[in-house]
Structure 1
Amino acid sequence: GESGYVASEGFPNLYPPNKECIWTITVPEGQTVSLSFRVFDLELHPSCRYDALEVFAGSGTSGQRLGRFCGTFRPAPLVAPGNQVTLRMTADEGTGGRGFLLWYSGRATSGTDTPSVPCPKQCRRTGTLQSNFCASDLVVTATVKSMVRGPGEGLTVTVSLIGAYKTGGLDLPSPPTDTPLKFYVPCRPCPLMKKGLNYLIMGQVDENRGPIIPSDSFVVQHRPSQDQILTNLSKRKCSSQPRQAAESQA
């Protein structure tokens, strides 16, 4: 197909041990495959020795390897040279993580293209404020102004910004006070938000749909005491991403 989601077995719960799973993605002729990771949580090892996701150009695992990934940091978006790409995920006998969720597309999709998303049965978030800060594209504090159903099965949440600590490449004024911003929430009602309340929102920026808040995003009610912590985090350098070490082994 031209676009869709691919998730590891069992997602969003833990993936099973002792497994090798292979997916081949094919988009129409004349297009290239673009991969954008939404969630990534595999057992970490400097060379991805235990659990790993490999991406190969073409059909099968004999083509050019585009990357080998593990850990909890989302790999950067990938674009394959042709209209096919193969994913191979391997897991050893040990305990792993939640696996991965990625969006593939063969062309730029419109803002109204919103396929169904594997949503968790219970809302939950993992990690600390600091770990989520580093893993997020966009970190803001804001007041929820409206919540409207759609497009698709999700929600469009309009907020009024209070502060911005990571912009995800968006052109936001500084300071961003009262600037309106729209988020797409694929899984209703995760995370739980209410109109009129202030929140600390850690989300992602999708190249096609703009700001999004995945179901496991770090979203909590905003307290003024968080502002200094966020300011300090914005000045620090996040530790090197495991994927960079993994790619050096590719």
Structure 2
Amino acid sequence: MRGAGAWARLCLLLVAAAQHSGPQLSERPVFTCGGILTGESGFIGSEGFPGVYPPNSKCTWKITVPEGKVVVLNFRFIDLESDNLCRYDFVDVYNGHANGQRIGRFCGTFRPGALVSSSNKMMVQMISDANTAGNGFMAMFSAAEPNERGDQYCGGLLERPSGSFKTPNWPDRDYPAGVTCVWHIVAPKNQLIELKFEKFDVERDNYCRYDYVAVFNGGEINDAERIGKYCGDSPPAPIVSERNELLIQFLSDLSLTADGFIGHYKFRPKKLPTTTALPVTTTFLATTSLKPTVALCQQKCRRSGTLESNYCASNFVLAGTVITTIPRGGSLHATVSIINIYKEGNLAIQQAGKNMSAKVLVVCKQCPLLRRGLNYIIMGQVGEDGRGKIMPNSFIMMFKTKNQKLLDALKNKQC
């Protein structure tokens, strides 16, 4: 994006900006670091655009359109330092002006689709580190009626007890290229959110790199809170949130598209602990002065028995490669790419193309120890959320091809 062709495109963009905004912009607009913008439409750009943006900067633009309307932001050009996780130079877009939900974070040269706020306010923030690379960004904002966004836009805040969400153009035709949609579902504090996809068809890729749906616990796009990332033509397994907020992100790149999807959600109460369990817990805490999980994790870590003796006692049995491990508190959340599954039970299996994966929770993060990139045979129980639950005494061992024959024989075993 640094050649003569790129500069020509920049000039055309600036001319178009000047023409669109009327006679007051007959000269090339000057973009400064941040600002307060109001009205039906306007442009924002990185400081000094189209020149190289300065290092070590933090610029904030607060956009307000007329009351009762929503803000639509379209990036016309973006060229920031590229990084898979956008850790260095990036643009963040938020609902509202303060403490708002982040709609997305962008870097590199990929232009997202139209971004839509859930109110008449939006905040855009650009941060650069000591090393810069690129000409920054330029974007146009405009006001739109919230109930007249039609097929062009998608996303928004969902607070009703149940509802649906779908890709633009569903079900008449394929979703468009270059779209970013974010749905933020918020339930009352004492409730959870149950999510089901009725139909699902998103461009297939083994790693869901191009078009995908990502679902997060909470109200932000945060890899540590990601429940799953999905593509292909198989609907993801039903999802239940851990808390009262859930975020659904849909992104399509600028190439192939597909039918899209429609999903439904509903609120449901948190399950209260049974009355019989309460006295036991109270007694345990009083006598040990430790939480049950802490006491459990202080026990000696060792598996007992054999593959055969543990097979029937386990809800699920699989062979797989550990692809992600995220410590949270004293436990470990891991994603396992499935090599083979021998006993599925109620385990939630996610499919992306031909690749299948499952989420497992290692209650005591060091016991048993799962290392990323290694292959294991994993046997365990399944929680209400469909996630595998690995206790210190669960049967885990390294997977070798010589185990295959025995596991195939156990698969046909009647328990």
What is the TM-score of this pair, normalised by structure 2? 0.29
What is the TM-score of this pair, normalised by structure 1? 0.46
Larger helix share, 1 or 2 = 2
Q: Which structure has the greater CA radius of gyration?
A: 2
Higher RCO (CA 8 Å, separation ≥ 6 residues): 1
